[in-house]
């Protein structure tokens, strides 16, 4: 158990906001990181080229997956060329489907805005009152047991979990805690209820905290440790294990261990007496700040949106639900989103978890200690490849995720529910530099127009009109560039040189810039929770302890 060190004070009051609303401060991103604010730019000296909204709509609509035989997905166990079947050196699936939603969970954590509605009115651009992005799980802990007691049990130590949805432990969930009347999730960040996968991941993290609290109580029995210090120590243990998974498991799978090793480096210095000390530090080339880390728009609006391409159209979630799912006509598994009002026909969020729908995480991650079942030979389900194609359900998002609204003046409001179009138009509005210019700034040879749009071997062509392609030539939107780069350089198995470097530097940089992270407080710290392999702690280990640990 690590020593108790500096802990954060309660944050300012939080208030939910509709999903799809631009984060506070994003619309007025300063051109220089020397300007104080939540958001800034990594490549602030790179010029920005104007683009046509109509051209971006055409490109976005060319990024939607086609139906095959009237189906959005293949049945479980059938070969699917869209799946990312790349493996690690030990043969383990590189990016099983669980990492798609862990990436979403991380995004919600580092972009969480915990201020009150009054503060948002008085500081709409987030220039004076804002939270520095950190991996601190405020989306789980809220403002703490004193300020938000409804998130906690009466002892003020354990987080409240929801009701089980089955009498069989394998399928019981539980759901998130919810209000009795409206069934709104009682969690730190309402965005972690937008689909049932991230909702069940949030549920697992709640249980993780409670298991760690029990562990701390057992380890410190009779020590006289105060009630508050027990909570703070458990909270630190959970945060540090989560941070470890981000930079030592999730990130290497996404960009490659060699890239992580190039950024997280060993620093050596001498101390009196002739000895030397080694420590791990961050060596950042492109992500820099003056006082506190900020959120680069090249990351939040472009590179980190790679995860939208990893989303599968549909998922199997446990051994109890028979396949094909009764009543679903366009998939054998459960669609991630749909406009079907039947709660058993999709994984839409902002609602109760249906009976018997508790997730078995073996469907999403390797090495989970779930009960054996008939589908195990086909598990875990892979994520989809990181490429220019988005699953069809993401082209018609439900109102609960993104309502019809004006994204760009003069354009149809329905475009707000087409995720690819929405991403491209948001990048245009914020003046994100193009992919080719960012590549040149990083001394990387840019992709050619042929690589960006033409077919080559297994790589499909982008079905965009040639006139649009010609107008975008040399000024490719950074988000599309990052996706196509992964497709061209890695067959969609992981991010490419530009996208990977942006994502890696920001994730490591945020950790290094957090004065309470394990990298700042105790850079020699290693995980203390159980793991399948010595000297390796993964997301599966985290979930295993949360769901099955003693």
pLDDT in tens, 350-405: 999 999 999 999 999 999 999 999 999 999 999 999 999 999 999 999 988 888 88
Whether the model pTM is above 0.85 = yes
Give a three-class secondary structure readout of 323-361: CCCCCCCCCCCEECCCCCCCCCCCCECCCCCCCCCCCCH
Cα–Cα distance list, 188 to 11, 38, 157, 183 (Å)? 12, 19, 16, 15
Tokens coding 501:
């470097």
If one counts every other C-beta atom within 10 angstroms of the C-beta of residue 177, the result is 18
Helix and strand numbers (H, E) in the chain are 18, 6
Residues of the chain with pLDDT under 70: 1-37, 113-131, 550
Its sign, for the CA torsion 97, 98, 103, 109, is: positive
Say if CB 512 and CB 260 are below 8 A apart. no
Q: Which of 526, 481, 475 is nearest to 499 (CA)?
A: 481
Angle, alpha carbons 261-267-269 (nearest 5°): 170
pLDDT at 118: 44
Say if CB 99 and CB 253 are below 8 A apart. yes
pLDDT at 25: 57
User: What are the residue ranges spanned by the domains of the chain?
Assistant: 39-548
pLDDT at 523: 95
For residue 39, which phi and psi values (nearest 5 degrees)?
-115, 150
Domain 39-548 has CATH 1.10.640: yes
Bond preceding residue 380 cis, omega within 30 of 0: yes
């Amino acid at each position: 158990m690590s020593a108790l060190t500096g802990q954060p004070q309660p944050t300012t009051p939080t208030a939910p906001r509709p999903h799809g609303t631009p984060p506070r401060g994003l619309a007025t991103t300063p051109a220089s990181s020397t300007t104080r604010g939540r958001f800034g730019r990594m490549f602030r000296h790179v010029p920005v080229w104007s683009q046509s909204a109509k051209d971006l709509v055409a490109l976005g609509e060319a990024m939607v997956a086609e139906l095959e035989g009237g189906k959005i997905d293949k049945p479980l166990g059938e070969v699917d060329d869209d799946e990312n079947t790349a493996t690690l050196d030990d043969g383990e699936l590189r990016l099983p489907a669980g990492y798609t939603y862990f990436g979403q969970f991380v995004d919600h954590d580092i972009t969480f805005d915990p201020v009150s509605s009054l503060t948002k009115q008085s500081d709409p651009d987030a220039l004076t009152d804002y939270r520095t992005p950190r991996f601190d799980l405020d989306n789980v802990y809220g403002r703490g047991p004193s300020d938000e007691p409804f998130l906690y049990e009466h002892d003020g130590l354990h987080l409240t979990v929801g009701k089980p949805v089955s009498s069989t432990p394998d399928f019981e969930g539980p759901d998130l805690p919810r209000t009795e009347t409206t069934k709104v999730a009682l969690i730190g960040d309402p965005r972690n209820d937008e689909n049932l996968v991230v909702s069940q991941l949030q549920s697992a993290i709640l249980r993780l905290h409670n298991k760690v609290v029990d562990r701390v109580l057992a380890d410190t029995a009779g020590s006289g440790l105060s009630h508050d210090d027990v909570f703070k120590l458990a909270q630190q243990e959970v945060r540090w294990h989560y941070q470890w998974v981000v930079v030592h498991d999730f990130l290497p799978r996404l960009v490659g261990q060699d890239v992580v090793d190039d950024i997280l480096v060993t620093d050596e210095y001498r101390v009196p007496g002739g000895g030397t000390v080694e420590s791990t530090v961050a060596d950042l080339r492109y992500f820099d700040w003056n006082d506190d880390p900020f959120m680069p728009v090249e990351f939040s609006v472009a590179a980190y949106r790679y995860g939208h391409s990893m989303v599968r159209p549909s998922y199997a979630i446990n051994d109890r639900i028979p396949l094909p799912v009764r009543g679903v006509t366009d998939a054998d598994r459960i669609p991630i989103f749909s406009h079907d009002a039947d709660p058993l026909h999709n994984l839409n969020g902002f609602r109760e978890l249906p009976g018997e729908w508790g997730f078995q995480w073996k469907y999403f991650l390797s090495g989970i200690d779930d009960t054996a079942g008939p589908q195990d030979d086909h598990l875990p389900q892979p994520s989809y490849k990181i490429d220019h194609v988005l699953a069809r359900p993401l082209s018609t998002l439900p109102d609960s995720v993104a309502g019809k609204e004006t994204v760009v003046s003069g354009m149809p409001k329905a475009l707000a529910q087409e995720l690819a179009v929405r991403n491209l138009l948001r990048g245009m509005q914020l003046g994100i530099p193009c992919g080719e210019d960012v590549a040149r700034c990083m001394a990387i040879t840019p992709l050619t127009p042929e690589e960006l749009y033409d077919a080559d071997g297994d790589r499909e062509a982008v079905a965009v009109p040639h006139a649009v392609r010609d107008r975008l030539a040399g000024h490719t939107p950074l988000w599309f560039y990052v996706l196509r780069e992964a497709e061209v350089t890695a067959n969609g198995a992981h991010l490419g040189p530009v996208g990977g470097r942006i994502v890696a530097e920001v994730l490591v940089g945020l950790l290094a810039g957090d004065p309470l992270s394990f990298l700042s407080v105790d850079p020699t710290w290693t995980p203390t929770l159980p793991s399948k392999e010595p000297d390796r702690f993964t997301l599966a280990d985290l979930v295993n302890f949360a769901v099955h640990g003693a």
